[in-house]
Chains A and B, each alone.
Chain A
Amino acid sequence: MAKKLEVKNLRISFRTPGGKVQAVRGINFDLETGETLAIVGESGSGKSVTSKAILGILAGNSIVEGGEILYDGMDLLKISENEYYKIRGDKIAMIFQDPLSSLNPIMRIGKQLTEAMLLKGRARQRASRDAFNTLLRRLNQTMVRVSAEGDPEKAKELTKMCEDFDKFEFKHIALEKAFNTARDAANETIAELENILFLIEKNAFENPVRRLREEMNIAVKAIHPYVVSDEDAETLRAEAARVKAAAHTAAKTKEYGEICVSLGRIKGILEAAVAKEEPNFFSQGYYLTFSGQPLPDLPVHELNRVLHEYLDEHFMLHFIDYVEASLRYSAQIHDGAKQMVCAKLNAAIDFFGNMSETDDDRDRARAIRAQLGDAVRTSVDPLEIHSDSIAMTFSSSLKDAITVYFGGTKKNITERKRAAKEQAKFDRYTEKKGRRPDWTPMPPALVDMDLARENIVGLCKRLLAHYGDVLQASPNRDFRKEAIAIIDYLKENASGVVNHLTRRMAKQRALKLMDEVGIPEPRKRYRQYPFEFSGGMRQRIVIAIALAADPGMLICDEPTTALDVTIQSQILELINRLKAERHLSIIFITHDLGVVANMADKIAVMYAGKIVEYGTSNEVFYSPAHPYTWALLSSMPDLDTNERLEAIPGTPPNMIYPPKGDAFADRNRYAMKIDFEQEPPMFRISDTHFAATWLLHPDAPKVTPPTIVTERIARMKERSKQEDAGEENN
């Protein structure tokens, strides 16, 4: 599995009147595609701050002191606000804890749901058009350069080919769109009819006139040459009209016999229609655009084959050949450029590794950065579909790192001066005047020069390693496959241009989403305000909004804390289902270990800005190692708990003055002397399980977790054993 997100040594503080609060103190974790990571901890442990850092929405008084957040190879701490616009919502979405404060109180739910869709839809349409046009233009240019060097006739032919592609591709999309609308209508009607028939059977059908009329209007939309045949279309229309006419009397007399027959017939027609094979609109688009003849009258299967052959013969095979040749040519050129970059990077690493803080070196570093930036820019293959984010962010990241390094010297001098001055003032007060001021001098916040230099070298090394991998893989590239991929990409963007989201469609999609997240009567709810919803319903709306842009990663910040058990269970199931369907990566933040057993693949337990235990879900629940995890587990009752709960005494420490040793030592029953003096490192228990407690040190005395925890684990093991035995018997 690919790593979706990597957080490395992240440190975040907040400037407050009382001093600098160290909210996150060096945490590391990574998240793979389709995986759920749960971050568990008390309020104030820094879990929400971490999630906000990932989304780039930290409060104004925050200081990111160090570390990296790599998303798809891009460092989120480095990218600009403009680049973040493409990530927030589209790639990473967030569900907040308090559904009321994340909804606009004076805006109807429907508008809030569709707002982002419409905005993003417009932006995406523009982006698709740009991507389509740019790529096709570049492809055309390269084609001409490769296959028609000095041959204007041939060049013209190639350009015509690209234009033809453009033309019939849009025809294809238009055909497909009409078909999809009709088939969606058919599917929707089938589901709704089943529901209505069930309600009629149970004698619980409400608002029959309105609902039947609405359904019949949708059913008629399914009429399309490829979905419902002409003959059936007539029947469908007639039946729909009959139902509409009979609705009034039926509603009064509660006799639904006739209507049920009609509905059953409509359902039968639609079900047969949906089961039919889908025509190939791509080849059909070409045939209709260029052959100048109507479609041959053949069954769908036969038609598909004939048209496909026609397309291949007249256009597609040649086109793919040209695209392949262009790709090969372009890759060759840019591989050369990449090799050059590698050589330059090696030289740069030598220089950066040994430079000092003089002005000369500063000027040289800047010159090298400019050269490197140009070289990297020319080494990026414009025909690549997915832009290489490491290469793209390299130049700006390097600039920042160099600025930090050379600005650091000056900053350190002023900081030291300031700290010395404050210290002197403090001493004057305490020693000479004998007062006890209510403030303490802030220690100097220094830039670590070695770390800053390492950051610069690290950036270069990362690009070097990345290019090394690319060059190594280069001889084995399958250009035919890539050519087909590029055509698919063009198709996708073309559909992005044609399928622009209208207000109506956005409403349809919002209603579907509302239905998907389990809001009953979405049509009525669509026009209501947030205060008209209960807590659970509000949270569903928030989830629906988060899913509206179809993100790849979801950050859930205590999404179920305000909800009751059934709703919580539903929401968790919903998130799990969406995770499986959309292959989402999820960061799930909560204070309740109980809810994550079902969700999490990995669990990170956080306390006072640090991860104290990190492992797979099974490891953390079945063999917890850190006393804080024990305390969390023993403070919640389960269904078999009868003994007194063990609450964690006291409150978390003040993070303006983090304790010297283990932050949990004060509240820890198992604390040893060393816990108050020295911070424990992360001890490795297995390849995936780590915990930061001195109890794991080989010299530490052996302690057993609280009985409430050991007993529960024993019970859980017993139960799973019994179940296994039961299954075997069955």
Chain B
Amino acid sequence: MNQRNEEGLLLSVENLGEKLFRLKIYSPEIAKKALPGNFCHLRVNESYSPLLRRAFSIHQVETEKNSFELLFKVVGPGTQILSEKKPGEKIDLLAPLGNSFSFPEKDENTVLLAGGMGIAPLFYLVSSLLEKKFDPQKISFFFGVKKKDEYLLVNDMVSTGIRLHLATEDGSSGYKGMITELFFQELRARRLKTKRTRFYACGPNPMLKKVSEISRKFKLDCQISLESHMPCGVGACIGCVVNTIKGYKRVCKDGPVFDAREVILD
């Protein structure tokens, strides 16, 4: 019995922008076990409205403080309730769940692509790499949002010395267009190495579909973290599947991290 219903203690709720929130939760067990890519399945209240748990990527872990963070956007009643929580409240959690990103070798390059809230697990991955003394100059981070006030953690990333590429759909800052277009341009112009390079991506499904197509075309070693409605979160209900070249796979148990070349998104 290695998995338990954890009770976390909410330490802080930060409003980072329009409908954007960051929660810091105290839970020594989760802080100890979590790996980049893992997710937590969280019950927003004890009523039956909403009924099911919500899945969130683990965004950041502070092992010495026994805490971890979640980053989310308010998109419905569940996330609304969560955003109104107060420090000191208890949070019902199942975590850490799912698989995790496999890390690059020390001498390899790392390229990450985040679309919107897709930054949540990827920021955790970058932090872990830097903590393990990976060279920040060998890490490129592509971050795309709809408009510039949706940018998150940009200053934190700049201060680490990693190579940052920014894009907004409306052109209000950085490259104008989708982050996958900017990424594709860089690849085609051979400004990004593809040999001995690990690629990682997380974001909305249309973006990941593009990443998946590009990965197949350029034969990229690319891992993507998927999102899905997950009733159970532990692999029992088979409700959250994604189609792959090896058949349907459970996002919660076989993922959420998949090889981009194997996933078939529509």
| Real binding pair | no
- Chain A residues engaging chain B, CB cutoff 8 angstroms: none
